[in-house]
Structure 1
């Protein structure tokens, strides 16, 4: 990973994340910051590294995941799709919070996170700072539940600087 661009990333933190121990401990990684700083690239690089370590990795852009889950709900595959997500060692949810999503989508997200809690690691990338996630979700009860399952055991990368 190119660490020459100033993005507010501590090299020691990246080395810690690259070693993959946090995936073994089923911890999460929340990567936030403005567009163009490499949040998705970092998530994909960590996912690629996990693949090389023989871990099962799944990548989804959040809006496409919710669209796929809606289709799966309609054709009877919903439970099977959720199970495949649950069994992944590392789930990457890219571009969370870019668009308004439905209450059903938030419930699917909560179900995914609930199923994965203690079973797998999750990376979330977002342009929204974590302290704005409650507002983005809207429903305070769902927001609390989602926030609790993501944040309590999460490493955080808050990227800063100019677009690279």
Structure 2
């Protein structure tokens, strides 16, 4: 009896992204398949241009317009999230990720994910005190590293 190869998290993500596009009637070309693979592997918050660069390294010939159309459809299907951080191009991440918030380093553009139970509880407490319940929220903190006294600017 042959054993089935266990699916990795990346395989599951790729399958989920592929299924979402097919459900929307989008044809899976070699270029799109490369993009979906790159998206599935991404653990950061890449911009569309960065996703195109990564996919081009795998299968040449993917246009930026194809990347944008594919990302838009994947967002409509609810399998990726678009983040529009202040002053930067849109960035993308998997929608399967556990809820988290973001800190954006204003000097480097680095996006740092974090989760904090105290913040979540405080937000719920504030909404409750005002007669509401939270349906959805997004917290973005724009930060810069502290400089020690005497550090150059």
Give the TM bin, normalised by the shorter chain. Answer: under 0.3
- Rg larger in structure: 2
Q: Which has the higher helix share?
A: 1
Greater relative contact order structure (CA < 8 Å, 6+ sep): 1
